[in-house]
Chains A and B, each alone.
Chain A
Amino acid sequence: MAENILEMRNIIKEFPGVRVLKDVNFAVQRGSIHALVGENGAGKSTLMNVLSGVYPFGTYSGDIVFEGKACQFKNIKDSEQAGIAIIHQELALIPYLSIGENLFLGHEKTSRGVIDWDLTYNEAKKLLERVGLDENPHTLVKDLNVGRQQLVEIAKALGKNAKLLIFDEPTAALTEKDSQKLLELMKDLQKNGLTSILISHKLNEITEVSDSITILRDGETIETMIKGKDEISEDRIIKGMVGREMTERFPQRNVKIGDVAFEIRNWSADSPVIEGKKFLNDISIKVHKGEVVGLAGLMGAGRTELAMSVFGHLYGKNITGKVYKDGKEIDTSTVEKAIANKIAYVTEDRKDAGLILSEDICTNITLSSLNRVSQNQIIDKDKEISYANQFRDALKIKSNNIYQPVGSLSGGNQQKVVLGKWIMTEPDVLILDEPTRGIDVGAKYEIYTIINQLAAKGKCVIMISSELPEVLGISDRIYVINNGTVTGELSKEEAKAETVMQCIVANKKLGA
């Protein structure tokens, strides 16, 4: 049995009034991929921040032993020097600098204080080869997609001679294909002797690559499972995370599907960036009353773009196509008109485009339906508060009160606020774009329940999701979108992971 590269013993970390880590023990074997799982707020990030020196020595109690030495990191630089590198969920690259410049940011290749650019780009090329990224190191980071940026981030860590890589939700923003590539890269790096810690909500990935799994719950280590020794199953991990057996990951509902209530016909749009390039090509979609329709596909396939071009023509140029509701054509050319026609779009990125983080829950919830709480443009504060309270209770938003800034809520609760905001507009059609991204299993279940309740009330729900099991689990019917066109329409019975994948890969029409 290999020795431990890292041991964290009896780690206790307190914030004023809360003990976030209560005596956590965490050991990682050299050369292994060790998964760290737990619900949001379980203490994973705090533990990693303790490890990397974000919370300096002295602000926590307990011991960190790395490579046999007791460590007392005062800042991130200390931990990097020791060989620990974090690849953050939110990438920390500078968009307007080149790959090469980014790779050596902070430890530039210099000779006598002057940057040696030839050496820099030469070394950069080697690093890119190590992560299997075929890009010119002079390329600006802003021109790379998220998957490639992630690889640059990893290359950057390798450039610092990292021995232990910490991946914080590395695949949260990646497509299935890119995620798969990333996981393979992790295995490759493992063969070269690197140790990785993987923090992820995606249990299938975890069971696929990791050698051992540690579960945190409420700041405590629940258990550590080792591959080959313990029986590892998703159900067991989930049970450990939430502390209860989750019999079903998707709540059941009685589907009562009515007539066609919402229809997009022959929708096309050009790319706003590249002149004359058709980004969306002749897309037609139907949704019945009370139906949940999933839009599956790779990231960048055009699903978000479709939603945004329909909802207020926010994306694309030369938009053609028609939108029908209850058989009548409706105008959705501005967001106001779309909202007036009872359409709601819950954005993909809740922090960036869904919420005003500095404002409180109340303000955020009522933002899209101020007309419901105002008369002659004058807001009735009391009415607003009572509505906000109503939604807070109905959606079980965990907070002290409705005056808490949404920036201080957990991901799942933030998502509930966004949902509440749109439910308050009393929509007939809801387009949900990645509504469960980056939130924990328990909160996901609650979001699914909300979706089911909406469908049960006869609303049309369109759900965009990049997680296959989720699309399969929640949808009554699935459209697969690839390259800006519909490449498949599958009923609940037809839809299996394999058939959907086929439509994605085949790039030709199947099913209907």
Chain B
Amino acid sequence: MRINAEKKKLPVNLRQYSMVIALIVMMVLFQALTGGIFLKPQNITNLILQNSYVIILSIGMLLCIVSSGSIDLSVGSVVAFIGALLGVLIVQKGMNVWLAILIALGAGVLVGAWQGFWIAYMRIPAFIVTLAGMLIFRGITLYVLQGMTISPFPKEFLSISSGFLVKTGTGKLDMTTMTLGVIAIVICVAVSVIGLQKKKKNGYQCPSMAAFWGKNIVAAVAIGLLTVWLALYNGVPVLLLIMLALIILYSFFMKKTVPGRQLYAMGGNEKAAVLSGVNTKKALFLTFVNMGVLAALAGIVFTSRLQAATPSAGQNFEMDAIASCYIGGAAVMGGSGSIAGAVVGALVMGVINNGLSIMGVGSDITQTIKGLVLLAAVVFDILSKKHTVKA
């Protein structure tokens, strides 16, 4: 039995990195197929901005999936609903942009609490509650907008999605970006060195030096490359900072905090979690409140990017977010999955969208390919797990 367990470890790691490797292969492939356009600095910046809202949604969706294996079908409609709300408040009533944003986020809390109440406390399946929510919020949006598009939004609001940090320096490279990049690398390495020191001090088992520095070097190179690419174009988009903050915050929450651990536990075995003292109802409720807030944030970002509130905004966003989580290795029944995985999943979808559109491929083929990628990723996941069980 000992040997089996040893073997079990390997494919899990392989699985973790396999989507990253697939992402890199895809990017290289598109670089060749688009004749070098794909990896141009401008397009990379575009790619990040284009996919920001899907990444934001998939973070929230991952929490839903991990905690209970449930999905939120309403997020696309909520994005449109928040857009309509912002349109009315900012454009029609002339409200202060930041106040309107606060109200929008508050509306997200209410939407999440409404759905979370039915799901967590009344035990109505999330699929049904959020399917109802999908219809309800799309309906309200249509009612509010009366089939019209509201615009124009003030510059201040648009800068959320189109703003960049102020450029400095005179050369081709933006010095603000470069400085931030260097700081990021230093922090990254410092955090892992401090962690290692602490392990050593307490006499815990440490990773081998080669593995430790290998990991650090890969991370540093990745950050460095992104920094240079951004610096060659407009610098650091404000939106990227927001997204990175979310990714880091939620990764930390899921991996390192007690409530995060409890979400994994209840997804893995709800009964056992209850008996271990986890308040699963409250946790599930808050998971959906969180999803509501993130959906509102995605709504703000998307409206800002679109520069208008439209009735059809956000259609199929829920599907992209759900697909991102599954491509990123989240278990359908809950209990496993990672923020990093969901983000990589979202990037895989984004790269396919972007790459194919540069190549001039229509949305018919693009959708088909995205569907196949989703299926392939999950099939690969299940096959690799089966393999480990057999062994």
Q: In chain B between 234 and 292, which residues have their CB closer than 8 angstroms to a CB of chain A?
A: 256-259, 261-262, 264-265, 268-269, 271-279
**Of B199, B264, B278, B279, the contact of A359 (CB 8 Å cutoff):** B264
Q: Does A214 contact B (CB under 8 A)?
A: no
B202 touches A403 (CB 8 A): no
Q: A353-B269, A357-B269, A359-B268 are in contact. Are A335 and B275 (CB under 8 A)?
A: yes
In the bound complex, CA of A338 to CA of B276 (Å): 10
Q: In chain A between 11 and 48, which residues have their CB closer than 8 angstroms to a CB of chain B?
A: 15-18, 41
Q: A15-B4, A353-B269 are in contact. Are A377 and B276 (CB under 8 A)?
A: no
B272 touches A382 (CB 8 A): no
Comparing B5-13, B27-35, B47-55, B102-110, the segment that makes contact with chain A is B5-13
Q: A335-B274, A386-B204 are in contact. Are A367 and B391 (CB under 8 A)?
A: no
The 0/1 profile, CB within 8 Å of B marked 1, for residues 307-322 of chain A is 0000110100000000
Shortest Cβ gap from B307 to chain A (Å):
40
In the bound complex, CA of A385 to CA of B132 (Å): 44
Q: Does B372 contact A (CB under 8 A)?
A: no
**Of B205, B272, B279, the contact of A355 (CB 8 Å cutoff):** B272
Cβ of A400: which chain B residues have Cβ within 8 Å of it?
A: 2, 5-6
Q: A336-B277, A385-B204, A386-B202 are in contact. Are A18 and B257 (CB under 8 A)?
A: no
**Of B7, B272, B335, the contact of A353 (CB 8 Å cutoff):** B272
Cβ of B272: which chain A residues have Cβ within 8 Å of it?
A: 347, 352-356, 367
Q: Which of A41, A358, A371, A378 has the most CB of B within 10 A?
A: A358
Cβ of A377: which chain B residues have Cβ within 8 Å of it?
A: 257-259
B258 touches A17 (CB 8 A): no
Q: Does A262 contact B (CB under 8 A)?
A: no
In the bound complex, CA of A449 to CA of B278 (Å): 30
Interfacial residues, chain A to chain B (CB-CB below 8 A): 15-18, 41, 311-312, 314, 334-336, 338-339, 345, 347, 352-359, 363, 367-368, 370-371, 374, 377-379, 381-382, 385-386, 399-400, 403-405, 408, 421
Q: Does B218 contact A (CB under 8 A)?
A: no
In the bound complex, CA of A363 to CA of B335 (Å): 12
Q: Does B123 contact A (CB under 8 A)?
A: no
Shortest Cβ gap from B60 to chain A (Å):
20
In the bound complex, CA of A502 to CA of B252 (Å): 59
Shortest Cβ gap from A389 to chain B (Å):
9
The 0/1 profile, CB within 8 Å of A marked 1, for residues 373-391 of chain B is 0000000000000000001
Q: A352-B271, A382-B199 are in contact. Are A358 and B276 (CB under 8 A)?
A: no
Q: Does B40 contact A (CB under 8 A)?
A: no
Q: Does B211 contact A (CB under 8 A)?
A: no
The 0/1 profile, CB within 8 Å of A marked 1, for residues 1-25 of chain B is 1111111110000000000000000
Q: Which residue of A lies closest to B336 (CB)?
A: A358
**Of B4, B258, B331, B336, the contact of A408 (CB 8 Å cutoff):** B4
**Of B6, B9, B258, B391, the contact of A379 (CB 8 Å cutoff):** B258
**Of A357, A367, A378, A381, the contact of B276 (CB 8 Å cutoff):** A367
Q: Which of B7, B258, B279 has the most CB of A within 10 A?
A: B258
Q: A377-B257, A378-B256, A403-B9 are in contact. Are A17 and B271 (CB under 8 A)?
A: no
**Of B5, B6, B335, the contact of A358 (CB 8 Å cutoff):** B335
Cβ of B204: which chain A residues have Cβ within 8 Å of it?
A: 382, 385-386
**Of B7, B8, B202, B275, the contact of A314 (CB 8 Å cutoff):** B275
In the bound complex, CA of A129 to CA of B366 (Å): 62
A379 touches B265 (CB 8 A): no
In the bound complex, CA of A345 to CA of B272 (Å): 11
B256 touches A379 (CB 8 A): yes
B391 touches A16 (CB 8 A): yes
Shortest Cβ gap from B270 to chain A (Å):
9
Cβ of B258: which chain A residues have Cβ within 8 Å of it?
A: 370-371, 374, 377-379
Cβ of A336: which chain B residues have Cβ within 8 Å of it?
A: 277, 279
Cβ of B205: which chain A residues have Cβ within 8 Å of it?
A: 385
Cβ of B275: which chain A residues have Cβ within 8 Å of it?
A: 311-312, 314, 335, 345, 347, 353-354
In the bound complex, CA of A58 to CA of B10 (Å): 28
Q: Does B198 contact A (CB under 8 A)?
A: yes
Shortest Cβ gap from A390 to chain B (Å):
12
Q: A335-B274, A354-B275 are in contact. Are A17 and B8 (CB under 8 A)?
A: no
Cβ of B4: which chain A residues have Cβ within 8 Å of it?
A: 15-18, 408
A358 touches B268 (CB 8 A): yes
Q: A16-B3, A377-B259, A403-B9 are in contact. Are A314 and B335 (CB under 8 A)?
A: no
A356 touches B265 (CB 8 A): yes
Q: Which residue of A lies closest to B252 (CB)?
A: A378
